[in-house]
Structure 1
Amino acid sequence: MDDVFVGSLMSSPVYTVSNDTSLQNAGETMREHKIGSTIVVGDDDHLEGIITATDFIHVVAEGDPDPNATVASVMSTEVITTTASESVQTAADIMIEHGFDHLPVVDGEAVIGVITTTDLTAYLSTTEDPSPS
């Protein structure tokens, strides 16, 4: 997988929300586009965070969510990223090391995609023989 690059597997376009987007609207965006995360950006499209389906599970598990809650109240703000030219192996290693299912792909300051465990699984399913054979 060292000769396969993130850019060839990443999901794009990136669906974004701002940090003042309601949790409800962020959830609707994720459901509408059938995605497991959305990127949180500032006014200048600068990466501010990520919100995932797991974040929504935590909100529900902690009790009745505030109907006025915004993405800023639950998003992860210390976001690790990768680039389109990074090897898929390195991206997979980062995801395993940190327990991530979604890794934003950046070009400078701009988020250009997201690589997910689903993207990696789809790739592996086309390159590996099923086991047991």
Structure 2
Amino acid sequence: MEDVFVARLMSTTLHTVSPDTLVEDAAQLMLDNNISSVIVVDGENHLEGILTTTDFVHIVAKSQPKAETTVSRYMTTDVVTADAQDSIVAVAESLTEHGFHHMPVVDEAEGVIGIITTSDLAAYLSQSEQLVSS
């Protein structure tokens, strides 16, 4: 496999916020742009941090008082799924096409049997590259 450098794959369309941006505004920016993180920069565009969807899980979990809102209010119901026999190329294309990072794996008889994520695909590519290099 040829060497592919970060500059070839990286996205240069960045969504940034300042450290004093309200989390609600950062969340709206992420929703409006269908992204899972925003880069936090100072006035000179120097990196201060990153805020991700995982951070929002912590924000909601620690919020007081609890909103007591059920999952059904926000969950996605039109879920794109994979079958255990689907090729990883097809799954990767579907994840990319939809901008997803997670895809449940379902079986008609057994229901949900797993999940495949972009992290799983990245780990596979990393292992494949190591095998090719050996």
TM-score scaled by structure 1? 0.48
The structure whose Rg is larger is 2
- The answer to which structure has the higher helix fraction is 2
